[in-house]
Amino acid sequence: MKRTGPTNPIMQKTIAELHKQKSAKLWKLVARELEKPTRSRREVNLSRIQRFAKANETVLVPGKVLAAGELHKKVNVAAWNFSAGAVIKIKAAGGKTITILELTKINPKGTNVKVIG
């Protein structure tokens, strides 16, 4: 059976843009993670971000952020997708939610970004 990859046009654009990034190997790693089937893609709860991220840090989740757990730190979170509850909790803690493509424009070299998954 032929592997087709993601069929979502926005996901395809995101993966293509990440592959074009020459400034950091991080973006190639994230593109490979996003090319996986949906059932194999990472899902991270806020409790995991709370446990491993420091205050005022930028966290990258190559998948979806879910709302299970609490977040008490101001953390900027970049991910492919967020649950509605996760967005509310991140903003309530003083953090920001951004897409992976927005992060590549803000930080093209991928410095000071922690990948959690």
Domain ranges of the chain: 9-115
7 vs 101: which has the higher pLDDT: 101
pLDDT digits (tens, 9 = 90+) for 16-64: 999 898 878 899 999 999 998 888 889 999 999 999 999 999 999 999 9
* Alpha carbon of residue 88 to chain centroid: 16
CA distance 75 to 72: 9
Contacts of residue 17, Cβ cutoff 8 Å, sequence gap at least 6: 101, 104
Query: What pTM did the predictor assign?
Result: 0.89
Instruction: Assess if CATH 3.10.20.520 describes domain 9-115.
Output: no
